[in-house]
Amino acid sequence: MEIRRQKEIWSKQTVPRKNRHQKDVALRNLIVSLCDAWEYILEKRFSTGSVSSDGRSGGPLIRFIQSAICPLGIEKTPHAIRKILKDLGSNQKI
């Protein structure tokens, strides 16, 4: 009886599957601002480039973003940053 009650409580506390992977709007806005700064300083459109097979290294833009967000306590892999950049590029103009 107790196990059934615990399962019932747990099922009410879990987030529905469709809401689990929501995009972090603040992080996306920060990355858009960093891309704007990148384009302004270098006077050319950014490119996401490629990520190495080990997923540990990326191009200069990805390293720039990692360096900028690290002091904020945000750690993203090059692959994760590249995915955000690709999503931004396909969903909106930067």
Q: Which domain holds residue 81?
A: 24-91
- pLDDT tens per residue across all 94 residues of the chain: 566 666 666 555 555 555 555 678 889 999 999 999 988 988 877 776 666 666 566 788 898 999 999 998 999 988 889 888 888 775 554 4
Give me the number of domains the chain comprises: 1
Q: Would you say residue 67 lies in a domain?
A: yes
Q: Would you say residue 6 lies in a domain?
A: no
Quote the CA–CA distance of 37 and 31 in Å, as a whole number. Answer: 10
Quote the CA–CA distance of 51 and 83 in Å, as a whole number. Answer: 10
The answer to whether the pTM exceeds 0.75 is no
Q: Would you say residue 41 lies in a domain?
A: yes
Quote the CA–CA distance of 77 and 66 in Å, as a whole number. Answer: 8
